[in-house]
Structure 1
Amino acid sequence: MRFSYKELKRLASLPEKVTIEEVAKAINSIGFEVEATFPFGDVEGIKFGKVLEVSKNPHGDKLNVCKIEFDDKTRIIQSTATNVVPGKVIIAFVPGSRAGGITFGEKKMKEIVSEGMLSSLTELGVSKDLVRDSYQEGIMFYDEVKDLSLDPVDYLDLQDTIIDVDILSNRSDAQSYYVMARELAAYFKTDFQ
């Protein structure tokens, strides 16, 4: 079972100073086994943008040319996504942004320079099995975002660590945040929320 470090801390009312290492040690101490901990989304420099125009690349059958307004400038980004339409707010990797070990830049694609890449949920670090079928290949929209200068990493709370815990067959009840947070609250002597 995979748990969000931030969510477990919130539910178990753990002090801010409690580290991921201390939570993992506590989970091991209360009879479970932490298999691994890893960052939820290893991305930085991504931006919200509002799609202004979408047209077909005349030199490429599958490429759409998207004119997108960001907080710092308007960029052209090409994509094979078919659900992008004008007026929608999206997230994009712009030149200088990073995902894992990849830093994004400009790239000429079918005679037109693309200044980044549109981002789906899976490219932000969300496991494919947690994404609705309708968003598996498509771009997610964030129309509630009115301020394009907001940092998507903060807005979507992507600065988190996932704790992968091996749950014993006789403790299937621990496959929930409720039980795991309750156990952690008892371990750290805090008030369970």
Structure 2
Amino acid sequence: MREPLTRTIYDNYDLWDQYSEFAKETLAEYEEEPSEDSIWNVINDENSTNWEYEKERLEEFFDDGSTWILRGTNGRWNGTFEAGTIFTDFMDMYREATTDCDYVHLYDENGHFYIQCSHHDGTNYYEIKKLTDKGIEYLENWEENWDDKRSERYVHDQIMKKYSILPHFAHKVYGCPKVQWKKDVA
């Protein structure tokens, strides 16, 4: 079975592996044997710069006047629970979705946009899709009909299945192919 290529947008799960060589090379110009604190200072600065850059791209992409849905699961001390929300402001959604999370991985797989984030009680997994015009209409009809017996979860499930499209973030922002498999880049 073919596996999609994971195109990382932002990842702070293992900063040491990502940036320690860069930090050591940078510090070698100034210090013969850089301390671990010095290395971590460079790593944290580089991560912060990377996040600011990516955050700007994410806000430009998602805050375009579109309506989006985030669906997935929250891992908690007492189990894993379904979660979801509709949003139009990326950073508002991001802060809510990653509350108490120390580690975040944002990535694209063949147009699917995923968020994985971990905290002391577990890991949250989400997917984001863009609502179609029919999806917005479907949502508004449900929100405006107080007698509607459908649950929010049901409505969100229907939106994810029938009334939304893939964002294709890596393709649209970075020019990656829409579809890319691991063996294609071996």
Give the TM-score, by structure 1 length.
0.27
Higher relative contact order (CA 8 A, sep 6+): 1
The structure in which a higher percent of residues are helix is 2
